[in-house]
Amino acid sequence: MSSIESFEAEPAVPTLGHFINGDEVPAANRTGAVFNPATGEVSKQVALADAAELEQAIIAAQTAFPAWRQTPPQKRAQILFRFKSLLEQHAEDICQLITAEHGKVIDDAHGELGRGIEIVEYACGISELLKGEFSKNAGPEIDSWSEFQPLGIVAGITPFNFPAMVPMWMFPLAIACGNTFILKPSERDPSAPLLLAKLFQEAGLPDGVFNVVNGDRETVDLILQDSRIAAVSFVGSTPIAESIYQKGSANGKRVQALGGAKNHAVIMPDADIDNAVSALMGAAYGSCGERCMAISVAVCVGEEAATKTVSALQERIEGLKVGPGIDAENDMGPLVTAEALQRVKDYIEEGVTAGADLVVDGRGLAVPEHESGFFLGPCLFDHVTPQMSIYQDEIFGPVLCVVRVQSLNEAMALVNQHEYGNGTCIFTRDGEAARFFSDHVTVGMVGVNVALPVPIASQSFGGWKRSLFGDLYVYGPDAIRFYTRRKTITQRWPASSVTEDAKYSFPSS
């Protein structure tokens, strides 16, 4: 047998396409690699849509809109209830896909999915949420009311770090409001969003109402340019969020674009250090730090609080288990790509060069049998100053920086002067300090002894400053306003037997 005949080719990996008009649509031209972050291997290829593939989705959404718009909200809610039930039934399948392509530990994937299901649950109340406002006898025999009508075709562009939850921040409420939706998920972990679309169809959603178009920057540009798409929701980094807001707005779209973060936790001298450190561990190192709400800076007020905090963090980090996310015993999985891993390592080196004290260096971590995975151990810097890049920039990795200050006012000045204003928290037993902090800190989401103050489904999520471009947050009441437009109707039925004179003054009641 020749060497050629004896050669065994590598098994071909599957190629994921799109979900358009209720059907799976195979890749037409371009594709990209999807990696298993725990092994470093290519696990799939994913389609990267061109103009023709996006056109299919737009036509499907456009065709489905008139009938879906007229579907009573209660019937839309019934489909959402069935969708919620299917999500719960298939939770393990969805979470396995998240872990396989993102890398986060399986318990974290279940937590992500759970928060997404809460949004679906909130959307099930759409009949109440869409109730308009009525004024009888606003003028002589005149009634006036407002109603909230859908926009048409809307789109969502979502990041890799929450492949199930962040899409569910958007499409359930947009669809509940009567819109049709095109989702462009991250090309790094596209399997979970595709499964969500299939389950929504199984729940009874009409074809074309929800479409998933995989793609990259070229696909995003096509979405932003197309005048038939009325609104765009985006979550990602600040430079891209700003660009999407500018381009989408210039093309006449309603845009909400959530950007980056540098979330500070203020540790007061009277804080319960043990509980604060427990909260910091999860907030800094959960999901390998790949969260827009991750705590990446601990601002310790007073040397004693700082020393205790750093010492306790060191001790806890020693017991933190890092490995494949599929193993429920692990606390932290890998970063999503080799590029992400290298980017974080570069920041760590910059911190060392700038003079910060690298108390815990996770760069030497080796995970047995997963040497090619994108793993990095937890890192802890002390004596970080505001001039350093590791303080200024969103690292998006398992790196926690400790800054030492002497007062609450000094700590708040750091938070308020930073360009990002996504989330922050304070650990204290002092109600006066907590109230002052909550009232005067210029950040959109604030926690008091809560490290990750992510609002519940009936609230809305969003930051201030360069963490949000646009006026309205995602999900909650703001989403209803974002995905609808108000129409005010004034009505009068004069008596047919009376002929009225023309009135030239401006009408008033």
Residues involved in catalysis: 292
Distance (Å, rounded) from C-alpha 462 to C-alpha 272? 28
Positive or negative, the Cα torsion across 417, 421, 427, 433? positive
Rounded to the nearest angstrom, the gap between the alpha carbon of residue 52 and the centroid of all alpha carbons in its chain is 28
Alpha-carbon distances, residue 382 vs 313, 351, 358, 378, 403 (angstroms):
11, 10, 6, 14, 7
- Please tell me the distance from the alpha carbon of residue 113 to that of residue 122, in angstroms, as a whole number: 14
Q: HSE of 174 in the Cβ direction (CA atoms, 13 Å)?
A: 28
> In whole angstroms, what is the distance from residue 250 CA to residue 420 CA?
24
Dist. CA 357–CA 160, nearest whole Å: 31
Q: Angle at CA 32, nearest 5°, toward 29 and 34?
A: 140
* Nearest CA among 40, 43, 34, 106 for reference residue 367: 40
Distance, in Å, from the CA atom of 286 to the CA atom of 274, rounded to the nearest integer, reads 18
**φ and ψ of 336, to 5 deg:** -75, -35
Strands 180-184 and 210-212: parallel
